[in-house]
Amino acid sequence: MSYVDEVLEKIKKRDADQPEFIQAVTEVLDSLRPVIDKDEQKYRDLAILERITEPDRQIMFRVPWVDDNGKVQVNRGFRVQFNNAIGPYKGGLRLHPSVNLGIIKFLGFEQIFKNSLTTLPIGGGKGGSDFDPKGKSDNEIMKFCQSFMTELSKYIGADEDVPAGDIGTGAREIGFMFGQYKRIKGLYEGVLTGKGLTYGGSLARTEATGYGLLYLTEEMVKCHGDKMEGKVVAISGSGNVAIYACQKAQQLGAKVVTVSDSTGWIYDPEGIDVELLKEVKEVKRARLTEYASARKSAEYHEKKNGEHGVWQYKVDIALPCATQNELDLEDAKMLVANGVKYVAEGANMPTTLDATKYFLDNKVPFVGGKAANAGGVATSALEMSQNSERLSWSFEEVDSKLKNIMVGIYHNIDDAAKEYGMEGNYVAGANIAGFKKVVEAMIAQGVC
């Protein structure tokens, strides 16, 4: 049995209750076969695959907090510090009822390669809680965040592990957590990114993941002899990534016709009104029904199982920006039948393995989240640099660095795919390019 299959089999047995983690590891290891097979004995002797798929440590803790009715609530907190071969652990904090150890491990594992692709010195980690911020008051959010950070603060630091936002963790939550860290540790340091601009945040961080996704997509489109102008785009989600992806796509001359949330989706053939979307989602924190009632051209559809949602329309570009496994094989078939030309993931692992394979088999240029959404963490690393320098860069400076990084990532993954005879397979290219750098550092640092 090959070394890759041996390790995959071990993980499937040992972590059988973590399907998302197994899915992420399978995707990565499968595409690393050409690299591993070439030098199998060396990797086997050094147990590289066993080491890179096992987190340095996984921390789980109780998060007790008192709700507005005086009742004590208890959630579970997580931080998985996966790999720090090339820099301090870095990765977001997800607050969502679906969070469990397997989900945090899949996200932390992906983060290792994504962070490596940014070319910046950051390792991979991820954390969060099964806390549901929906419907909670600001006071309850603060109580939760303070309790969460009271425990988490024991394990993080500016040179050790620097968490950031993710689903359910935005500027408000990062602010409450930063305040609590400062209070407990007595340190004013860049221990979190995604901070407010008045206390160490970076300009363009809010926009970074969505903008970065479009910078990479634009480069891919250009390299296929095509242009963004006039393209029709389907976006899923209506959170941080989706909103700014929408904004940049329209700035580049494309028309975005869909967005969604966990209860339904909008089809707006005139093009999404980004300012209205921001008002509904960022200011009012309301449902998309409010968007539809404020805009004549928009249709709202309630989400029903088995429906294609935003993926049923005739579009040139599909950008899934909501959550994992939201685009399955049937959706991929529908998109391809409707002539989709490019797909790039704003979210982490939104496309199922068989849907990804379908895009690749049908020669649809497809860039996975590891590369396509790396702009968020890249800009977080730029925030860390500014914090260390005790300086703030202008929006234009950060944005232009972000653009260079995303264009660089596209060429890096394109070159890696070509080098291993898989031209156009950006999934393999991203995994290979990300892996090689981390493994070189791991080998140089000895068995640890």
Binding mask 291-330 for ligand NDP (x = CB under 6 A): ------------------------------xxx--x----
Q: Residue 108 or 165: which CB sits closer to ligand NDP?
A: 165
Please select the residue that binds ligand NDP; options are 123, 201, 237, 434, rule is CB under 6 A: 237
Distance of CA 61 to the CA centre of its chain: 23
Of 71-79, 231-239, 269-277, 336-344, the window that binds ligand NDP (rule: CB under 6 A) is 231-239
- In angstroms, the Cα distances linking 130 to 13, 15, 144, 247 are 25, 20, 11, 30
DSSP string, 231-271: -EEEE---SHHHHHHHHHHHHTT-EEEEEE-SSEEEE-TT-
Tokens of 403: 């653009």
User: Residue from 238, 247, 258, 356 that binds ligand NDP (CB under 6 A)?
Assistant: 238
Name the closest residue to ligand NDP (Cβ).
239
Min. distance of Cβ 306 from ligand NDP in angstroms? 14
Q: In terms of CB distance, is 335 or 347 closer to ligand NDP?
A: 347
Burial class for 278, CB neighbours closer than 10 Å (0-12, 13-18, 19+): middle
Among residues 207, 201, 163, 198, the alpha carbon closest in space to that of 181 is found at: 163
Residue range at the interface with ligand NDP (CB under 6 A); choices 14-22, 42-50, 260-268, 328-336: 260-268
Binders of ligand NDP among 162-181, rule CB under 6 A? 165-168
Closest distance of CB 291 from ligand NDP, Å: 12
Nearer to ligand NDP, 172 or 436 (CB): 172
383 binding ligand NDP? (CB under 6 A):
no
DSSP 8-state class, residue 286: -
Contact 291, 298 (CB under 8 A): yes
DSSP count for the chain of H helices, then E strands: 17, 12
For residue 46, what are its two tokens?
């050094």
**In the complex, minimum distance from the CB of residue 406 to ligand NDP, in angstroms, rounded to a whole number:** 13
Residues 194, 384 contacting (CB under 8 angstroms) = no
Q: Per CB under 6 A, does 25 bind ligand NDP?
A: no
Single-letter amino acid code for the residue at 214: L
How many other CB atoms are there within 10 angstroms of residue 443's CB atom?
14
Q: Is 373 in the site for ligand NDP (CB under 6 A)?
A: yes
> What's the token pair of residue 111?
């983060």
Question: Which of 90, 105, 114, 126 does the annotation list as catalytic?
Answer: 126
CA 389 to chain centroid, in Å, comes to: 27
Q: Pairing relation of β-strands 232-235 and 255-260?
A: parallel
| Known active-site residue 341 | no
Nearer to ligand NDP (CB atom), residue 116 or residue 323: 323
Q: Which is nearer to ligand NDP, 218 or 326 (CB)?
A: 326
Contact code string over 331-360 relative to ligand NDP, x by CB under 6 A: ---------------xxx------------
> Please, are residues 439 and 48 in contact by the beta-carbon 8 Å criterion?
yes
- 302 membership: H or E segment, kind and range: strand 299-302
In the bound state with ligand NDP, the residue whose beta carbon lies nearer, of 3 and 176, is 176
Pick the stretch among 5-13, 24-32, 223-231, 235-243 that binds ligand NDP (CB under 6 A): 235-243
Shortest Å, Cβ 69 to ligand NDP: 24
Chain residues binding ligand NDP by CB under 6 A are 165-168, 209, 237-242, 261-263, 321-323, 326, 346-348, 373, 376
Catalytic residue IDs: 126
